[in-house]
Amino acid sequence: MNGIQKISKEKIDEALKMNDRQYLIGNLKVPQFLEHIHDNEVEVGISHYKKFTSDTPHKHSDVTEYQMILQGKSYIKDLFTSEITQLNEGDFYIVHKNTPYAQKSAANTRILFFKHPGINDKFLVDYDEVTKEWLEKEI
């Protein structure tokens, strides 16, 4: 495909009213609220957590995730080291493949994310009681 393609802010905002996560680009198998731009190499999306949210701990075997906090804040815990990193508006971070992690985000947090390669290789990982309690404690 040649040329320039656009997804308007209005369409993105409308889709995020119905869902916390919207993919914008990728070779997507799951139907989305928003018409996405097809790409076999990368996935790009945006998450908007309207209320406090904690994700189920997981890792990716092949995918590296690149993310930027557009609004709000989030905490991410490396389950190998137990190190917790606070992420604030404007921060950019990478989650390398094979890194098991847990993440929680404050209400009204928006995160722009890129996944390369653009495949679905997410799988859940075991985690301890300390991590479970940490995930439940709101920001």
In a domain, 97, yes or no: no
CA distance 104 to 69: 12
In a domain, 4, yes or no: no
Backbone angles phi, psi at 30, to 5 degrees: -95, 130
CATH of the domain at 61: 2.60.120.10
Q: What is the pLDDT of residues 47-105, one digit of tens each?
A: 999 999 999 999 999 999 999 999 999 999 999 999 999 999 999 999 999 999 999 99
List alpha helices for the chain, DSSP H: 9-18, 129-136
In a domain, 3, yes or no: no
**pTM score:** 0.93
In a domain, 2, yes or no: no
CA distance 42 to 54: 25
The answer to whether the beta carbons of residues 109 and 69 sit under 8 Å apart is yes
Q: Cα-Cα-Cα-Cα dihedral of 95, 90, 104, 62, to 10°? A: -20
Q: DSSP characters for 14-53?
A: HHHHH-SEEEEEE---S--SSPPEE-SS-EEEEEEESS-E
* Predicted pLDDT of residue 33: 87
In a domain, 121, yes or no: yes
Q: Cα-Cα-Cα-Cα dihedral of 53, 103, 7, 11, to 10°? A: 0
* Predicted pLDDT of residue 1: 64
Range of the domain at 24: 9-91+103-136
* Domain count along the chain: 1
| Residue 102: partners with Cβ closer than 8 Å, 6 or more residues away | 54, 55, 57, 76, 77, 79, 127, 131, 134, 135
